Amino acid sequence: MLSILEETVNLFRSDQIINSFKHNGVELTHIEPPSLRMEKIFNAALSGNSISKEDALFLVNINKQDIPYLLNASSKVRDKGKGNTLSYSKNVFVPLTRLCRDHCGYCTFKIEPGEGELFIHPDEVIDMARKGAHLGCTELLFVTGDKPELAYSDYREALGELGYKTTAEYLIAMSEEGLKENIFPHSNLGLSTREELSALRETNPSMGLMLENISPRLLKKGQAHYRSADKVPKLRMKTMEVAGDLRIAWTSGILVGIGETWEERIDSLYALKNLWDEYGHIQEIIIQNFSPKHGIRMEKYPPPSFLDMLKTVAISRLIFGEKMNIQIPPNLNLETYPLFIFAGVNDLGGVSPITIDYVNPEAPWPQIEKMEQVCDQYGFNLKERLPVYPEFINDEFLNKTLLDSVNRFVDISGYVIPEEVTNGTN
């Protein structure tokens, strides 16, 4: 049996991998034997145990020369649960409304009346869904601002003319229309009631809400979530608890680099882990890095370093273990996302052939062909998934009609049937 030292050296035996990490400030050569505590933590994780908060905080402060051991452990845990499969989804990004009552310090998604359309009209939504389906997209990604009807009379009136009182009502209707075009809605509504989530569950095989951070400190004046009523952590957790009760496959995650401490970041991961342990409905954890942009309140905030992101991703894998799907957004890490494969990710997020990332408009999607080449180069198989992950494609999380529709798009493993197979050319 190989020692941890030998296994780590073997993982990073490629000069290309070593040089790529070195270019981003992480030295993988001259690896020294691990400390006894580090070896104990990693052995426990590899035995199927989640690491403790104290262990996670210890790993936050390890020296650079110990990073290879952290990456080796997180990669091995991922391999135990996911093998050599990496996944992504092909989507159409629909910013149903960009009006929002919150004032987050990092946001460029939000607009005010007069700066753009109040919402995307039904005909345009249907057209986007139809075009996306024609291009082979399987995810209709709906994103909205938080409860703009409470802040803008113009929006309320325009929405009323369509016959809707709330953004949620409009989203429910557009999800129904989108599904008719043979593309699956994945809605990010924000804080939601049980009734709203229950209605969306009829057409959405999965939904999402980022926790961002569990700390109420970030709501204080001068912090990222100041004047943002919908970013109260307890309320966001409550929405996700209701989703668990309703058996909705759920995507969540944290936003890294918005002024949080390392302990608050770790606490946020454990809050999601505890939620998953209780309800079992969390299908995916996104580790999203803050990206400063011109004109935002936090435009002079430094983004998280590559090393900090690497640690966050790897520690997340050790906290959640082998079964969780962990994603790094490739368009926010266009040069470095392949290296996060060595930190334990197994998903590369949503990629769109026809729409931009309206939350991060400056960050283009990577080409799918390039992603495939990179994954193959490192010995991984890139597979397309639906917005709902394979392990949630069952009658516990999907009603019969939706389950029947979903099953027509996937193979026996739960991944999307390749186009050349569905077109009968293979």
Q: Is residue 337 one of the residues assigned to a domain? A: yes
Q: What is the pLDDT of residue 1?
A: 42
The segments of the chain whose pLDDT lies below 50 read: 1, 363, 421-426
Percent of the chain with pLDDT over 70: 92
- The answer for 345, left when phi > 0, alpha when psi is -120 to 50, beta otherwise, is beta
Q: Mean of the per-residue pLDDT values for the chain?
A: 91
Residues 266 and 187 in one domain: yes
Q: What is the pLDDT of residue 425?
A: 38
Residues 31 and 134 in one domain: no
Tokens of 269: 């991961």
pLDDT in tens, 66-121: 888 899 999 999 999 999 999 999 999 999 999 999 999 999 889 999 999 999 99
Q: Is 402 helix (H, G, I), strand (E, B) or coil?
A: helix
Q: What CATH number did the domain enclosing 280 receive?
A: 3.20.20.70
- Number of domains composing the chain: 2
Residues 23 and 157 in one domain: no
Residues 264 and 213 in one domain: yes
Q: 375: closest CA among 404, 333, 340, 325?
A: 340
Q: What is the pLDDT of residue 423?
A: 39
Residues 53 and 107 in one domain: no
Q: Is residue 53 one of the residues assigned to a domain? A: yes
Q: What is the pLDDT of residue 22?
A: 82
What pTM was estimated for this model as a whole? Answer: 0.93
Q: Is 395 helix (H, G, I), strand (E, B) or coil?
A: coil
Residues 70 and 90 in one domain: no
Q: 171: closest CA among 136, 134, 208?
A: 208
Do 78 and 125 contact (CB within 8 A), yes or no? no
pLDDT in tens, 361-419: 554 556 788 889 888 988 899 999 999 999 999 999 999 999 999 999 999 999 999 87
Q: What is the pLDDT of residue 63?
A: 85
Residues 296 and 401 in one domain: yes
Percent of the chain with pLDDT over 90: 74
Residues 47 and 195 in one domain: no
